[in-house]
Structure 1
């Protein structure tokens, strides 16, 4: 560690660590060399503060184990986990990246991440990586409510796991289609929120699920109708300002507007 610190301080290297342990004797960091899955993670490098605020407020994921600030407004978030194999880990990493706007390249089991206390030398001046530890729990797959079919419904054409044939829609896909139809035909969003929450009492937090589904669908519709990014954020904030603290409401609106924009862009390129 002393040698790494000296090299890092004197400008000779960046320092990284594997998020998961390697098999004894491994000389390469390949997927086959990963001994076990110990972490999930997301690399947030765009709109970092807003997306991190949305992640912290979300009930879809448990509190992170650690949050690294890797440069101004950029973060790496990790959860200590058990009970994941490499296939399920990588599927969940993709879902995390889609749900919270993370780097889609940071979704493989042999990823390396930055180390707190060392300098990120990609910048001039170098940026010292810092860390906070919100929670020391170890989480399992059931703690992550990132339903693959729901993510697929929100991002058409994005394969995550096995997509069901169109004739066999999941509940979440059916909810998305119904909400989109109702909004296009002028249904009041707040009324629709309560109806969807009542229909989906099977969800861990039906109201949160309904609010997010309807707000993402609304933002997508507003963009299609020609609204600007700032106008969409303003309309989302106005809709939920009586239900959420101001700072969270603003960050949430920006994250939802960004998600809706990505949906539209993905549809155009799919």
Structure 2
């Protein structure tokens, strides 16, 4: 049974929701859609069937919003309510995700899916949005952060974590992280109209500039990397950084992620193999997170750090 997928679906939809699941194979091209209740989707036998289909090449998706009771199709008219805002980042994903994390105009994401190398799907759990307000906000998010402007339909499907993305060879494991457990309203999103990407203010005292050398997050990163290279204790650094960045929405999450990515980067620079880095990250957080989530988070962080090292060597 896929515990990562189960946790994601349980977090994403209210009990009793009607949801749409989509399975799509690339070769031969085939699409299968199932409309089920959340409880049916969470049943061990049903999750086992999804795992089986994914193992045999099917990509697994879920509609971002619940359907009306009795629906048979995933049409716009069948959407019951707006449960999520979402953003597809398919180009320059790591940089755009960093900008999203730093921007004042949007709250911390509820979910970040690593769908393939340097590509992400970002979700915010929301309430109080009607269909028109959601579509307008999705367009603003896409403009502001370089997302796919075509992904503004209320019946959009998103990848489910815990499965493999078979568009790539080898297949890419879809990892997940949950930066925030909050539910947001329209007032929490303060995005400018038009081309606002470069103009969005950053959280805290950070501000955009040509070099961005004054970013607090960049200063944190440089300090953490230097401390780790000098042999500082990661646990102590986490506590210090969380205290220093009390301006962050979740200081402990910010500190843990910064230290973990920097640690993984340091280990790669020292020549440590990927699987060993993964083991080190899992060991560090195994008492803080459920096993499946710890594994997925560790893999995503290791992959992010590895890309940093590869880009540095190429540059």
**Normalising by the residue count of structure 2, what TM-score does the alignment of the two structures yield?**
0.51
Is the partner of 2:94 in helix, strand or coil?
A: helix
The 1:122/1:96 distance shift into structure 2, 3 A limit, reads same
- Aligned-pair CA distance for 1:204: 11
- Aligned-pair CA distance for 1:55: 0.1
How far apart in 1 are the matches of 2:217 and 2:204?
20
Match of 1:39 in 2: 84
Does 2:56 match 1:56? no
How far apart in 1 are the matches of 2:102 and 2:144?
13
Higher relative contact order, structure no. (Cα contacts within 8 Å, ≥ 6 residues apart): 1
Spell out the pairing of 1:98-117 with structure 2 (5 A cutoff).
Answer: 98-117=143-162
How far apart in 2 are the matches of 1:67 and 1:244?
22
Question: Equivalent of 2:164, from 119, 140, 145?
Answer: 119
Match of 1:5 in 2: 51
- Aligned-pair CA distance for 1:34: 0.5
- Aligned-pair CA distance for 1:241: 1.5
- Aligned-pair CA distance for 1:244: 3.8
How far apart in 1 are the matches of 2:83 and 2:60?
20
How far apart in 2 are the matches of 1:245 and 1:64?
17
- Aligned-pair CA distance for 1:29: 1.2
Does 2:118 match 1:146? no
What is the CA RMSD across the aligned residues, in angstroms?
2.7
The 1:243/1:133 distance shift into structure 2, 3 A limit, reads closer
The 1:123/1:65 distance shift into structure 2, 3 A limit, reads same
- Aligned-pair CA distance for 1:243: 4.6
How far apart in 2 are the matches of 1:247 and 1:55?
18
Question: Equivalent of 1:130, from 168, 171, 175?
Answer: 175
Deviates more, 1:20-29 or 1:41-50: 20-29
The 1:104/1:90 distance shift into structure 2, 3 A limit, reads same
The 1:248/1:21 distance shift into structure 2, 3 A limit, reads farther
The 1:120/1:248 distance shift into structure 2, 3 A limit, reads farther
Aligned residue pair count: 174
How far apart in 1 are the matches of 2:217 and 2:81?
40
Checking the alignment, whether the CA contact within 8 Å between 1:54 and 1:248 is kept in structure 2 is no
How far apart in 1 are the matches of 2:122 and 2:83?
14
Checking the alignment, whether the CA contact within 8 Å between 2:125 and 2:182 is kept in structure 1 is yes
How far apart in 2 are the matches of 1:206 and 1:44?
24
Name structure 2 gaps, 5 residues minimum: 1-46, 222-315
Is the partner of 1:15 in helix, strand or coil?
A: strand
- Aligned-pair CA distance for 1:58: 0.6
Match of 2:71 in 1: 26
Show CA shifts across 1:36-90 (max 9, x none): 0010000001000000000001110000001000011100000000000010001
How far apart in 2 are the matches of 1:72 and 1:204?
25
The 1:69/1:248 distance shift into structure 2, 3 A limit, reads farther
Name structure 1 gaps, 5 residues minimum: 156-175, 177-202, 216-235, 250-270
Is the partner of 2:82 in helix, strand or coil?
A: coil
